[in-house]
């Protein structure tokens, strides 16, 4: 059992029953020319967390822990993308449109791939999800339950949208979850802070939060 200094209080987990869940670290969100930038966002804010994410991923792999990567992705015919989602807002590019890295948020396109620095390794789970949450319309819960997973470590983007949604879904399904604060980011820093505060409020109502340094120290000391 590992005990990690966290907020609002210590987070305890067994690595064999814990998965590292990396939310949507895909080129369309992180790199210039992708969907995130088409919405008018500064993607460099998200790119800044990559080194910390990479350190955590490396340490977790050395430990032999389960890794789950998600990508927000739709079928080529967009049959799993409701018009209400595709037509929302006023972006320069919409889901399914041709962009500099292929069709936006379409499975198999170059922009829909995980960034090279965090590329999935053999044996790691890679899930394409049509919604914001990692559990919606995916086999994630079944895959976790089959492996005896009870605890989740989250990192990825964006904090207040896909990450927080996935953590809330996990909470409703009975998993204990921790968010690594310096391994998640938003295009809007104030939204990230608000999401972090909400997640750990009222005695970890959604989950715990901690820095990657705390996790790495705890893994080293085990």
Active-site residue list: 24, 129, 162
- Least Cα distance to 27 among 64, 55, 69 occurs for 69
142 and 87 Cβ atoms separated by less than 8 Å: no
- Least Cα distance to 35 among 89, 135, 137, 103 occurs for 103
Q: How far apart are CA 50 and CA 200, in angstroms?
A: 23
Q: How far apart are CA 53 and CA 176, in angstroms?
A: 20
Place of tokens 């069709």: 103
- Least Cα distance to 135 among 26, 23, 29 occurs for 23
The number of beta carbons lying within 10 Å of the beta carbon of residue 120 is 16
């Amino acid at each position: 059992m590992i005990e990690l200094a966290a907020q609002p209080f210590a987070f305890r987990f067994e690595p064999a029953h814990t998965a590292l869940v990396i939310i949507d670290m895909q080129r369309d969100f992180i790199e210039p020319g992708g969907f995130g930038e088409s919405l008018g966002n500064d993607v460099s804010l998200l790119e800044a967390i990559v080194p910390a994410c990479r350190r955590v991923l490396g340490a977790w792999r050395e430990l032999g822990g389960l890794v789950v990567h998600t990508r927000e992705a739709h079928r080529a015919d967009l049959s799993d993308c409701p018009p209400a989602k595709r037509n929302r807002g006023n972006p320069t590019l919409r889901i399914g449109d041709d962009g500099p890295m292929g069709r936006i948020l379409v499975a198999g396109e170059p922009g829909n791939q995980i960034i090279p620095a965090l590329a999935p390794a053999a044996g790691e789970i890679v899930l394409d999800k049509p919604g914001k949450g990692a559990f919606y319309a995916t086999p994630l819960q079944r895959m976790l339950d089959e492996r005896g997973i009870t605890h989740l470590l989250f990192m990825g983007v964006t904090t207040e949208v896909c990450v927080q949604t996935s953590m809330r879904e996990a909470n409703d399904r009975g998993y204990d979850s921790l968010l690594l604060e310096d391994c998640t980011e938003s295009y809007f820093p104030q939204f990230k802070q608000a999401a972090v505060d909400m997640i750990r409020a009222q005695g970890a109502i959604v989950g715990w939060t901690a820095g990657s340094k705390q996790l790495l120290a705890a893994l080293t000391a085990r």
